Structure 1
């Protein structure tokens, strides 16, 4: 396992990070989830990403239990705040001062920890003044409940405004967590250049495009039983944008590329995002421990320039690049 610095900070994290979105507390039984976390630790992963909204808090609790007994100083644990949680009351959502300060306490209780290493704004809150949000995050840091602050799926302009206020408040934003993969490159035009300038790294989710880049979904055929594309708890909805025959056919063309490198399709996809020097980590999920071991093979790989060019050629115009898609991922009003 290799490690990278997170933004313009002194924090180092494992470049393969284990995340439990759509798995712990929902798709995966708790004992299997614990096995996956143990597999991650055995593979050298020290960084774990979760959020209060995942399975309405259950994912944080499962992760905390799975990490119990580990040396806390040897781990980097991340969580997030924004989406509706708990009974989903009018203030159980967003980035108001009330929700942030209550949210961090609830997350720490579920995790069974005194602090998280990184606390992230899970989306931009258009209903709360940015000054209020940043002030609340400053108080979370001052209280020692989070060591660093990051954001997720913020636009370049939102990152710039947030960083200016954060510095006035005595801290820095050090990370952004966007969707990023060989199929979904919308951050490259604006978010990445702005992040480089302002000292933020990307912690990217869905590097395998919700499983599409594994090549297991074939054009013109029904998805395999038990796969994410058949999951009615949310997985099928998340993956639907890629379940087009033109996308699936293009992905099949990557199989010889992966084979020539001695990699699985999943490892190739994870290695691809790690070629971007503004990416500090790729978040992987798993429903089986062996998936962790396979994805970790991407750590430390440097893909030749001709391979990167070949991937671009094979995927062609099925790649999403429109920067406007980042703003589209944040609701204009808080979800109920």
Structure 2
């Protein structure tokens, strides 16, 4: 496993991070989740990404249990705040009330005194950015988070937050966008803005929700037990399962074989070739998947192979920066 700095900070994380969105607390049993975390640690993964709203908080609890007994200084734990965590009007967003209450709840579930990076899961259009950044500053000064980050924020929002972070002396170090060989939305605006402000990219969905593994075939039934087989995931990946995309993804199989990689490893290595990327977050429902994904660490794709990947996917690549995710959850 190789390790990278997060932006211009001094924090180093494993270039492949383990994320438990969808899986822990919902899709897989706790014993399997613990086995996946153990497989990640065995592979040299030290960075674990979760969020307060994943499986209604159970994902944080399962991760905390799985990491119990590990040397706390030897791992990096990332979690997030924004989405609803309860029925009340203030159980969501980035208000001071929700941020300060949510960090305490996350720490309790994770069984730790602090998280390494506390991330704003989305931008909150209904709360003044000054209020949010001041709350984050207080979280850091209380020792409950070492650094802060954002997820799916636009370039303009990142610039504004970074300016306030400098005034408040808050270590804003990371951006967490969706990014893969098909979804290149962050490249035009988000990545340059984040790089200018010293933020590293900790990206999610490097394998396009598993589509880039080649497991889904045009016109075929979705494999049992896969994310695509669960209708609840259609809002995140339904657009990826059209025949045009799947036909293009099939062209990557021979390219991966030529490079001595699985298609999934090829997808992860493609993401990691971007120098702005600090880590690619991978999930898993079985320990062997973790080991396979971790083997992509350190793989260097040559320019000719990258060109052929672009050529294969060009008709289905999405680049429009206006598609950077932005939710309006409140009031």
Q: Note whether the superposition's TM-score is higher than 0.5.
A: yes
**Matched positions, count:** 331
Q: Secondary structure at the match of 2:94?
A: coil
TM-score w.r.t. the length of structure 1 is 0.97
Q: Distance in 2 between matches of 1:170 and 1:202?
A: 21
Q: Report the CA distance between 1:237 and its aligned residue.
A: 2.9
Correspondence 1:330 to 2:326: yes
Please give the TM-score of this superposition, normalised by the length of structure 2. 0.99
Deviation at 1:333, TM superposition (A): 4.2
**Distance in 1 between the 2:167 and 2:215 partners?**
49
Q: Which runs of 5+ in 1 are unaligned?
A: none
Q: Secondary structure at the match of 1:281?
A: strand
The answer for the alignment partner of 2:20 in structure 1 is 20
Alignment correspondent of 1:61:
61
Is 1:241–2:239 an aligned residue pair? yes
Q: CA contact under 8 A between 2:84 and 2:91: conserved in structure 1?
A: yes
Pair 1:70 & 2:70 matched:
yes
Q: 1:265-284 counterparts in 2 under 5 A?
A: 265-284=263-282
1:309 — aligned with what? 307
Match of 2:227? 228
**Separation (CA, whole Å) in 2 of partners of 1:314 and 1:305:** 14
In structure 1, the residue matched to 2:194 is 195
CA distance in structure 2 between the partners assigned to 1:141 and 1:227 by the alignment = 38
Separation (CA, whole Å) in 1 of partners of 2:107 and 2:225: 33
List, as ranges, runs of 4+ consecutive aligned residues in structure 1 with deviation greater than 2 Å: 234-237
Equivalent-residue separation in structure 1 for 2:162 and 2:322 (angstroms) = 21
Answer whether contact 1:126 1:333 (CA < 8 A) is retained. no
The answer to whether 1:122 aligns with 2:118 is no
The equivalent residue for 2:10 is 10
- Report the alpha carbon displacement of residue 309 of structure 1 after superposing the two structures with TM: 0.3
Contact 2:93/2:329 (<8 A) preserved: no
Equivalent-residue separation in structure 2 for 1:42 and 1:178 (angstroms)? 27
Corresponding position of 2:289: 291
Aligned to 1:48: 48
Please tell me the root mean square deviation across aligned C-alpha atoms, in Å: 0.8
Q: How many angstroms does 1:173 deviate by?
A: 1.3
Q: Which runs of 5+ in 2 are unaligned?
A: none
Contact 2:200 2:277 in 1 (8 A): yes
